[in-house]
Amino acid sequence: MPPTPALPEITAYRSVPDFACGRIKDIRIRWALDEIGRAYRTRLIGGIFEDKAPAYLADQPFGQVPVYKEDDLILFESGSILIHIGEGDARLLPRDTAARGRAISWTIAALNSVEPMIQTLVVLTVKGQGTDWMAGAIDAAKPFAEQRLARLSEALGQRDWLEADFSIGDIVMIDVLRNASPALLAPHANLTAYVARGTARPAFQSAMAAHLADCAVGEALPA
Amino acid sequence: MPPTPALPEITAYRSVPDFACGRIKDIRIRWALDEIGRAYRTRLIGGIFEDKAPAYLADQPFGQVPVYKEDDLILFESGSILIHIGEGDARLLPRDTAARGRAISWTIAALNSVEPMIQTLVVLTVKGQGTDWMAGAIDAAKPFAEQRLARLSEALGQRDWLEADFSIGDIVMIDVLRNASPALLAPHANLTAYVARGTARPAFQSAMAAHLADCAVGEALPA
């Protein structure tokens, strides 16, 4: 009998500010593992804004979650972890070279060509509340997000997933889109349906439940 | 004799606005290929702001460059292309599982945890020139970039590269950092030296020369 594979470990926050609960990137990893029925352990670390121990920063230079450990492999960044998990299971990343390349391209596109433009609007909205600069800055930044979503909507068309088969690219893209403001998605019925289709998957549901069970709300925002 | 491997093809812009010349992501791919002495072909497409043909959007849903073609493999997103090229050559991506995972984690970190925060400042600076909202918005966004650079500086320490060996992670990170404003890097002498060390590599120099030879400046900004 082959040895039992080690249970992978992921880190998650013990406590986060209310708005962040349900929006942390360990969800992506839990979702991928739940899709393939792979059990994992969770190691809870402090809050988002707590100083991280030097040992943690050695694994995750930016002090974020998740870190993923499996035997002597230590990964950081959700995209890197998803590529690794996908390499081990064709249900998340096709074996065929061309299809695999396309799925990894979508994974990176979600992280570098879509999420940043949405995240900029979140930052300007949160930091700009009650200021006289918020409206101008958001007006300037919003067209970048709108353009990317319009292209994405066109590329998705009437398919269920970004390519023929569900992949890690869909996991990241759906997680990115569900954190966009509803007004940004509203012009694109197919993107709204895509998010609903993805978050209705049993593996997303179980991943979110496990995330919420671990993450106590209530961390204070830094002064 | 094995068949000669196909020459990979990358796309680049035929003409870009003055400020963009030297800053387009095909440089990352040229750099990686030059590091391993792999020849490639360039296919020039229109300008950044020109409408892209449907056939191009089928390969690259966001209409960006580069697209990478090799046999039946078609990749988009510089990160995805770099991972593919790295998988073929240990000088860009170590074979050892743990070291490989770390290099891919750094590649994604550059794209998702560093570049977006720097890019937000570029957008606010370009779009905010002469407005009454620019200063407030930049003050709000800058700490995010500063925090990431401080962590990165700590992680790099006095090493030459992000890990023991130069990898695709360094290619992306150095390309991201060299596009940050000098004031952002100034507090971190080791990051400034890291960028200088990377851009002094013969493969960066030849990649940049080839990029500049292809890219005619002068595309007009959209109204």
Global pTM reads 0.96
**Residues B64/B57, Cβ–Cβ less than 8 Å:** no
Give the pLDDT of residue A18. Answer: 84
Give the pLDDT of residue A219. Answer: 75
Q: How many CA atoms lie within 13 A of B101 on its CB side?
A: 21
Give the pLDDT of residue A125. Answer: 95
Chains A, B: CB contacts within 8 A come to 165
Q: At what angle do helices A26-35 and A202-214 cross, to 10 degrees?
A: 140
Contacts A84 to B, Cβ<8 Å: 101, 104
Residue whose entry in the numeric block shows the structure tokens 């680049």:
B12
Give the pLDDT of residue A76. Answer: 98
Residue in chain A lying closest to B67 (CA): A105
Q: How many CA atoms lie within 13 A of B86 on its CB side?
A: 27
Give the pLDDT of residue A5. Answer: 65
**Structural domains present in chain A:** 9-91+204-217 (3.40.30.10), 97-201 (1.20.1050.10)
Give the pairing of strands B216-217 and B15-16: parallel
Best residue in A120, A125, A129, A173 for a mutation probing chain B (most B CBs within 10 Å): A120
Best residue in A105, A121, A170, A190 for a mutation probing chain B (most B CBs within 10 Å): A105
**B75·A101 Cβ contact <8 A:** yes
Give the pairing of strands A73-76 and A67-70: antiparallel
Taking the C-alpha atoms of residue B182 and residue B104, their distance in angstroms, rounded to an integer, is: 27
What is the full per-residue pLDDT of chain A (223 aa) written as tens digits? 566 667 999 999 988 888 888 999 999 999 999 999 999 999 999 888 889 999 999 999 999 999 999 999 999 999 999 999 999 999 999 999 999 999 999 999 999 999 999 999 999 999 999 999 999 999 999 999 999 999 999 999 999 999 999 999 999 999 999 999 999 999 999 999 999 999 999 999 999 999 999 887 777 777 6
Residue in chain B lying closest to A83 (CA): B104
Give the pLDDT of residue B1. Answer: 59
Q: CB-CB: which of A98, A123, A135 is closest to B141?
A: A123
Distance from CA of B59 to the nearest CA of A (A): 9
ipTM for the complex shown:
0.96
Rounded CA Rg of chain A: 18
What is the full per-residue pLDDT of chain B (223 aa) written as tens digits? 566 667 999 999 988 888 888 999 999 999 999 999 999 999 999 888 889 999 999 999 999 999 999 999 999 999 999 999 999 999 999 999 999 999 999 999 999 999 999 999 999 999 999 999 999 999 999 999 999 999 999 999 999 999 999 999 999 999 999 999 999 999 999 999 999 999 999 999 999 999 999 887 777 777 6
Contacts A140 to B, Cβ<8 Å: 123-124, 127-128, 131, 133
The one-letter amino acid code at B77 reads E
Distance from CA of A116 to the nearest CA of B (A): 5
Give the pLDDT of residue A2. Answer: 62
Tokens read off for A17: 């500010």
